[in-house]
């Protein structure tokens, strides 16, 4: 499967850029009902007891991946975690390069905030100068990850659920991700190509600032120009429904991985893989990130997904969170306060505003 989708220019869903409140209003109403039913509105916050607030907000990528034992770690793309400090930036660069060397990580790499969502602050770096600039623009006191760029081009979001006490989990969603691009015609500038593309034209507010120094370039005929790197829908990545590729073999592989990564029962894995047959077999794949309770089964943003399926999927997800949370409560886990959730949301929001630009 190619990294860039051939028909990206005509892949527009009527729903994918509607405001989030429209889709989540029914979820909120259902959650109120379940909060009354279970006599606890915070049960989703213990569905993944190994993750702070179950990964609903403000979760640390490092802390989640660090749960992995030696076997699970084999399936996670190597990374190092560092903190932006007040030390001279040249010293921080040296620390970063040393940490990369110790983990056997070489350029190119992917830099990303430790606490963040929807691809914000993600950059592809291919030199020491790039790392130094990333450090320079990163907020002081915040942590960031430098992760090996996987040799696989294909990317997917795989949603996995396993109820407490069960030996087997389920893959409930696969979302194939494609990089948006435009193709040069030998006469149009990059800005014109973006504006004239049925999909990219709707996201010019994302692409223009990102490529402001290249907007007057005239691409040669047939030349492909990638508009985004981060595999996030809100950053312009194209999502396609891959649920037809769900297999028992893939679920069994994830069971094996999460047997060695305690405290995770519900969420989406962002993975890179060699080809679709390998993914279906649970082979030749590597995990980039593990997202918790607030993650979506992102196939709903496929251009062909009907509105009722979007609502149904989200409602099932949050009903499942309450069911798992109730089981965790019966196992002795205590729910945090909703005030803790609010404080974590405020802290994440404040940090995100100061992150570097996204590739």
For the beta carbon of residue 71, count every other beta carbon within 10 angstroms: 12
The pLDDT value given to residue 231: 53
The pLDDT value given to residue 333: 98
CA geometry: angle 93, 97, 101, nearest 5 deg: 170
Write the CB contacts of 287 (distance below 8 Å, at least 6 apart in sequence).
65, 75, 76, 77, 257, 269, 270, 271
Q: Residue 208, SS3?
A: helix
Query: Burial, 28: exposed, middle or buried (Cβ in 10 Å; 0-12, 13-18, 19+)?
Result: exposed
Q: What is the pLDDT of residues 90-100, one digit of tens each?
A: 999 999 999 99
Report which DSSP code applies to 218.
B
pTM above 0.75, yes or no: yes
List the chain residues with pLDDT less than 70: 1-13, 229-236, 359
Which residue do the tokens 């990102």 mark?
A: 210
The pLDDT value given to residue 8: 44
Helices 89-103, 128-137: crossing angle, 10 deg rounding: 120
The pLDDT value given to residue 2: 46
For the chain, how big is the Rg over CA atoms in Å? 21
The residue count of the chain comes to 359
């Amino acid at each position: 499967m190619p990294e860039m989708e051939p028909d990206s220019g005509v892949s527009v869903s009527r729903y994918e850029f509607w405001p989030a409140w429209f889709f989540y209003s029914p979820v909120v109403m259902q959650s109120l009902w379940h909060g009354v039913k279970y006599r606890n509105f915070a049960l989703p916050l213990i569905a993944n007891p190994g993750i702070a607030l179950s990964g609903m907000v403000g979760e640390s990528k490092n802390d989640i991946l660090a749960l992995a034992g030696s076997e699970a770690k084999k399936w996670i793309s190597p990374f190092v975690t560092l903190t932006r400090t007040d030390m001279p930036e040249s010293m921080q660069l040296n620390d970063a390069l040393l940490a990369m060397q110790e983990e056997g990580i070489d350029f190119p790499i992917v830099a990303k905030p430790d606490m963040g969502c929807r691809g914000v602050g993600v950059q592809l770096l291919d030199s020491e100068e790039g790392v130094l600039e990333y450090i320079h623009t990163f907020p002081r006191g915040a942590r960031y990850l430098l992760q090996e760029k996987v040799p696989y081009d294909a990317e997917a979001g795989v949603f996995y659920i396993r109820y407490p006490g069960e030996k087997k989990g389920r893959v409930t969603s696969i979302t194939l991700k494609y990089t948006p691009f435009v193709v040069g015609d030998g006469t149009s500038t990059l800005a014109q190509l973006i504006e004239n593309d049925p999909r990219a034209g709707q996201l010019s507010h994302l692409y223009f600032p990102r490529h402001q120094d290249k907007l007057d370039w005239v691409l040669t005929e047939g030349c492909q120009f990638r508009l985004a790197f981060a595999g996030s829908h809100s950053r312009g990545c194209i999502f396609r429904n891959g649920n037809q590729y769900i297999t028992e073999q893939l679920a069994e592989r994830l069971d094996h991985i999460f047997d060695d990564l305690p405290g995770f029962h519900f969420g989406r894995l962002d993975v890179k893989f060699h080809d679709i047959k390998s993914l279906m077999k649970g082979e030749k794949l590597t995990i980039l990130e593990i997202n918790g309770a607030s993650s979506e089964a992102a196939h709903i943003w496929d251009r062909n997904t009907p509105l009722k399926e979007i609502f149904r999927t989200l409602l099932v997800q949050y009903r499942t969170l309450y069911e798992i949370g109730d089981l965790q409560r019966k196992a002795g886990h205590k729910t945090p306060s909703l005030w803790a959730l609010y404080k974590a949301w405020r802290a994440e929001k404040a940090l995100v505003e100061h992150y570097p630009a996204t590739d």
